[in-house]
């Protein structure tokens, strides 16, 4: 089990900016529980994410990975325990929810770009209307991020005219335009054809290199090994095991983790 | 197994596409005589056209009395349409009992509608915001002042005297402009998490949709005065406006709701995750897509609203159709084809407006088509 999947990019990761803060907490989850009706989907979740951490969450389908990260920007509501993001506790107070969402970017499996807006309009909508950035400035920032995800020439097109990989890169750029302090990724590459996975992962790696705090639900174990500083394994709504990637892959402790890894790493 | 091995030795070069099978004969064969049953249908259709077209031509043009003709010409046996009647009453059909000396006032309103309203429908016309302000604020106020008068030295003309196409257009333009936003609000309210708002909207929509427009107009006639202070009477035209608009907005709400249901959860979530609040989420992300999906339904509602204006005779307004009906009984033009001609005229006017609305919506559907959905 020591031989894990191949690296994502054939280069060394530039770790100069990748320090994990020892003191500053980005996300604190304490004794959190969530139910869908009678179904106890998340059970006693405790998790502290420091500023600058890159966390990969893995686990079998239905284990609650999506639900967990969707609780962090309150796309799902938790019923018990606390979630504190950037020092703001999530409650039913809508103003606080909006405050948290402004600082937390999210990338979805199915991109969820706005099909009726051009790429540029997709990127500038929230900065203009949520942050109050002047249009010209917002467009300038948007072009900068499109440049970063290497598709500035697509600015005037509509999402439907782009490939899946391009759409996902636009979705990442759209989140970045809000200048978030935390990025959440929910299986960003699992709806993509294999040849497009890499271009998206490269963008995510470059984000990590800039010191972004990231939580990624993904089955890309190569990405986890190269970039993550912590891997969390979930099953049946619980955190079963977490460790540094090297130790996690080479020396899993829990039976479930071993079984899961043996299945996905063949 | 060497016989399944294959290596291409020469690359296939691109060929020009095969020439389209074209020409008159080919077209006829493909579209009209592809099979025996097709051929039979074609022949029947052609025979029908050969029979109906000359009749129509004879009635509408050949044997018809052109504008400017006399009533005696219209009274001969086997006469066609009596266009002379329409021409001589066209002013009544347009303005109703509006005083003749004041026709210039509705004329200005018609002109404003064309000059301010039409550019608004044309996407590349400049000054959209100024244009919209003009149309939605200045135009209604100016129109009310002009048409009803009683100030600035204009003679007062009570709405009882307004009529004809003028009333039809007032009600339908007002109804179209107000019922869509109202319908959108009702649709949003129906999906609201607040139980009171939701219940109110559902109750309103279901109540209105469960009764015929005629009943709504009666209710507007009888109920509206109840909400007003004692002694004040509610203008008949206002009753018609309120009745028609409320009626249409309930249907509009359901059409809009249908469109909103076609929008995936991911769109709401992406907008939420970006921190967009409720109204911006709806206004920038959900509604533009939802409305686009249901343009045919919305336009269908506009068209029925336009035609339903002919029911406002219930509250005593003389719209175009009612004006035609009134004059159809006029003795001075009494002739065999008088009322048929009147109805053909009214139908033609309705058709022109409704068909234009329909074509215009097709134009928007094509324009808003941003390609593949995801
Ligand atoms: N809105 C919902 N209502 C009811 N049950 C739900 C809802 N969303 C998710 N669930 C259930 O909660 C459980 C956890 O779902 P979740 O989407 O978090 O799993 P996941 O770990 O992300 O799985 P996958 O790898 O398939 O994405 C599943 O059993 C799912 O059926
Ligand atoms: Mg999931």
User: B309: phi > 0 → left, psi -120 to 50 → alpha, else beta; which?
Assistant: alpha
Q: What are φ and ψ of residue B168, in 5° steps?
A: -55, -45
Could you tell me if B211 and B117 lie in one domain?
no
* Domain assignment of residue B12, yes or no: no
Residue A68 pLDDT class (50, 70, 90 cuts) = very high
Could you tell me if B255 and B125 lie in one domain?
no
Closest-CA distance, A60 to chain B, in angstroms, reads 22
Ligand 1 contact via A36 beta carbon (within 6 Å): yes
Identity of the residue in A105, A115, A175 whose CB atom sits nearest the CB atom of B374: A115
* Domain assignment of residue B327, yes or no: yes
CA atoms of B120 and B124, how far apart (whole Å): 9
Name the A residues in 93-132 with CB < 8 Å from any B CB: 98, 101-102, 104-106, 108, 110-116, 125-126, 129-130
Q: Per residue in A200-215, is it b (16+ CB within 10 Å) or e — as a string?
A: bbbbbbebbbebbbbb
Using the 3D structure, point to which of B157, B175, B192 is the last residue of a domain. B157
Residue B79 pLDDT class (50, 70, 90 cuts) = confident
Using the 3D structure, point to which of B157, B174, B199 is the last residue of a domain. B157
Extract the tokens encoding B359.
């074509």
Name the B residues in 29-68 with CB < 8 Å from any A CB: none
With a pLDDT cut of 70, the percent of chain B lying above it is 96
CA atoms of A27 and A21, how far apart (whole Å): 12
- Report the relative pairing of strands A39-50 and A213-217 from DSSP bridges: unpaired
* Domain assignment of residue B274, yes or no: yes
- CATH number of the structural domain spanning residue B316: 1.10.3720.10
pLDDT higher than 80, residue A86: yes
Give the residue, out of A66, A72, A263, with the most ligand 1 atoms within 8 A of its beta carbon, to mutate for a pocket test.
Answer: A66
Could you tell me if B121 and B237 lie in one domain?
no
Could you tell me if B224 and B171 lie in one domain?
yes
Comparing CA positions, the residue from B284, B280, B301, B273 lying closest to residue B361 is: B301
Residue located nearest, by CA, to atom 13 of ligand 1: A62
**Per-residue model confidence (pLDDT) at position B347:** 92
Taking the CA of A63 as reference, the closest ligand is 1
Residue B1 pLDDT class (50, 70, 90 cuts) = low
Closest-CA distance, A105 to chain B, in angstroms, reads 7
Using the 3D structure, point to which of B114, B133, B157 is the last residue of a domain. B157
CA atoms of B198 and B83, how far apart (whole Å): 54
Ligand 1 contact via A156 beta carbon (within 6 Å): no
CA atoms of A77 and A63, how far apart (whole Å): 17
Could you tell me if B257 and B206 lie in one domain?
yes
- Residue bearing tokens 């979530």: B269
pLDDT higher than 80, residue B223: no
* Domain assignment of residue B179, yes or no: yes
Number of domains in chain B: 2
- Report the relative pairing of strands A88-89 and A213-217 from DSSP bridges: unpaired
pLDDT higher than 70, residue A2: no
Residue B19 pLDDT class (50, 70, 90 cuts) = low
**Per-residue model confidence (pLDDT) at position B20:** 65
* Domain assignment of residue B350, yes or no: yes
Q: In sequence order, which residues have a C-beta less than 8 Å from that of residue B42 and are 6 or more positions away?
A: B32, B33
Chain A residues lying within 8 Å of B284, measured CB to CB = 114, 125, 129
Does residue B320 sit in helix, strand or coil? helix
**Per-residue model confidence (pLDDT) at position B3:** 75
Average pLDDT over residues A216-245: 91
* Domain assignment of residue B71, yes or no: no
Ligand 1 contact via A71 beta carbon (within 6 Å): no
pLDDT higher than 60, residue B373: no
Could you tell me if B133 and B280 lie in one domain?
no
Give this prediction's pTM: 0.83
Contact in structure between B344 and B352 (CB atoms under 8 Å): no
Residue B286 DSSP symbol: I
Within an 8 Å CB–CB cutoff, is residue A167 touching chain B? yes
Could you tell me if B230 and B269 lie in one domain?
yes
Within an 8 Å CB–CB cutoff, is residue B273 touching chain A? yes
Q: Closest ligand 1 atom to the C-alpha of A67? A: 18
Identity of the residue in A102, A108, A167 whose CB atom sits nearest the CB atom of B275: A102
Average pLDDT over residues B137-144: 86
A237 burial via Cβ count (<10 Å: 0-12, 13-18, 19+): buried
Sign of CA dihedral B357, B363, B367, B371: positive
Does residue B136 sit in helix, strand or coil? helix
* Helices then strands, each counted (H, E), chain B: 18, 2
Q: What's the domain range around B230?
A: 165-367
Average pLDDT over residues B273-280: 93
Testing the interface with A: which of B275, B276, B278, B284 to mutate, by most A Cβ within 10 A?
A: B275
CA atoms of B144 and B141, how far apart (whole Å): 5
Comparing CA positions, the residue from B304, B131, B139 lying closest to residue B213 is: B304
- What separation in angstroms does the CA of B208 have from each of A206, B178, B297? 58, 16, 18
Identity of the residue in A101, A115, A161 whose CB atom sits nearest the CB atom of B289: A115
* Domain assignment of residue B8, yes or no: no
Closest-CA distance, B113 to chain A, in angstroms, reads 30
Residue A1 pLDDT class (50, 70, 90 cuts) = very low
Residue located nearest, by CA, to atom 25 of ligand 1: A61
Could you tell me if B235 and B322 lie in one domain?
yes
ipTM of the complex: 0.91
Could you tell me if B170 and B138 lie in one domain?
no
Half-sphere exposure of B169 (CA within 13 A, CB side): 22
Within an 8 Å CB–CB cutoff, is residue B288 touching chain A? yes
Average pLDDT over residues B118-147: 84
Could you tell me if B324 and B180 lie in one domain?
yes
pLDDT higher than 90, residue A180: yes
Contact in structure between B257 and B250 (CB atoms under 8 Å): no
Residue located nearest, by CA, to atom 12 of ligand 1: A41
Could you tell me if B273 and B223 lie in one domain?
yes
Could you tell me if B231 and B276 lie in one domain?
yes
* Domain assignment of residue B354, yes or no: yes
């Amino acid at each position: 089990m020591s031989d894990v999947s191949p690296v994502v990019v054939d280069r060394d990761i530039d770790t100069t900016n990748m320090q994990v803060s020892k003191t500053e907490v980005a996300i604190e989850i304490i004794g959190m529980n969530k139910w869908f009706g009678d179904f106890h989907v998340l059970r006693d979740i405790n998790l502290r994410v420091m500023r600058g951490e890159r966390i990969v969450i893995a686990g079998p389908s239905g284990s609650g990975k999506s639900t967990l990260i969707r609780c962090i920007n309150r796309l799902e509501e938790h019923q018990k325990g606390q979630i504190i993001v950037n020092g703001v506790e999530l409650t039913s107070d809508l103003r606080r929810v909006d405050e948290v969402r402004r600082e937390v970017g999210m990338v979805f499996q199915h991109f969820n770009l706005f099909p009726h807006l051009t790429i540029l309009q997709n990127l500038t909508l929230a900065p203009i209307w949520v942050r109050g950035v002047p249009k010209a400035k917002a467009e300038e920032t948007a072009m900068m991020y499109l440049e970063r995800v290497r598709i500035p020439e697509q600015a005037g097109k509509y999402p439907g005219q782009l490939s899946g990989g391009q759409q996902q890169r636009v979705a990442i750029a759209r989140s970045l335009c809000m200048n978030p302090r935390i990025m959440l990724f929910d299986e960003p590459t699992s709806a993509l054809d294999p040849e497009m996975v890499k271009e998206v992962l490269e963008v995510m790696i470059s984000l990590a290199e800039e010191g972004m705090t990231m939580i990624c639900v993904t089955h890309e174990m190569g990405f986890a090994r190269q970039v993550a500083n912590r891997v969390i394994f979930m099953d049946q709504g619980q955190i079963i095991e977490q460790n540094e990637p090297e130790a996690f892959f080479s020396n899993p402790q829990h039976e479930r983790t071993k079984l899961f890894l043996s299945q996905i790493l063949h | 197994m060497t016989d399944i091995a294959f290596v291409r030795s020469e690359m296939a070069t691109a060929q020009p596409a095969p020439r389209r099978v074209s020409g008159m004969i080919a077209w006829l064969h493909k579209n009209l005589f592809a099979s025996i049953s097709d051929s039979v249908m074609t022949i029947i259709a052609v025979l029908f056209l050969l029979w109906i077209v000359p009749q129509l031509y004879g009635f509408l043009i050949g044997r018809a009395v052109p504008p400017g003709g006399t009533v005696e010409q219209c009274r001969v046996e086997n006469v066609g349409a009596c266009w002379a009647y329409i021409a001589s009453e066209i002013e009544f059909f347009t303005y109703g009992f509006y005083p003749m000396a004041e026709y210039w006032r509705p004329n200005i309103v018609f002109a404003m509608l064309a000059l301010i309203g039409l550019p608004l429908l044309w996407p590349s016309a400049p000054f959209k915001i100024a244009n919209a302000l003009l149309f939605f604020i200045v135009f209604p106020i100016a129109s009310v002042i002009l048409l009803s008068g009683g100030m600035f030295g204009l003679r007062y003309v009570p709405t009882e005297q307004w009529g004809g196409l003028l009333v039809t257009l007032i009600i339908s333009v007002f109804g179209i402009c107000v019922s869509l936003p109202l319908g959108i609000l009702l649709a949003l309210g129906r999906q609201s998490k607040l139980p009171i708002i939701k219940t109110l909207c559902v109750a309103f929509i279901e109540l209105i949709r469960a009764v015929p427009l005629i009943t709504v107009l009666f209710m507007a006639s009888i109920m509206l005065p109840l909400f007003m202070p004692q002694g004040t009477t509610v203008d008949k035209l206002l009753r018609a406006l309120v009745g028609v608009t409320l009626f249409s907005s309930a249907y509009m709400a359901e059409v809009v709701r249908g469109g909103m249901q076609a929008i995936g959860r991911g769109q709401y979530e992406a907008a939420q995750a970006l921190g967009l609040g409720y109204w911006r989420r709806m206004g920038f992300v959900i509604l533009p897509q939802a409305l686009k999906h249901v343009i045919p339904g919305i336009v269908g509602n506009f068209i029925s609203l336009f035609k339903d204006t002919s029911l406002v005779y219930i509250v005593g307004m003389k719209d175009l159709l009612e004006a035609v009906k009134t004059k159809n009984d006029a003795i001075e033009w009494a002739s065999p084809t008088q009322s048929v001609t009147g109805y053909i005229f009214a139908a033609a006017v309705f058709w022109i407006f409704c068909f234009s609305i329909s074509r215009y919506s097709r134009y928007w559907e094509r324009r808003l088509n941003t390609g593949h959905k995801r």
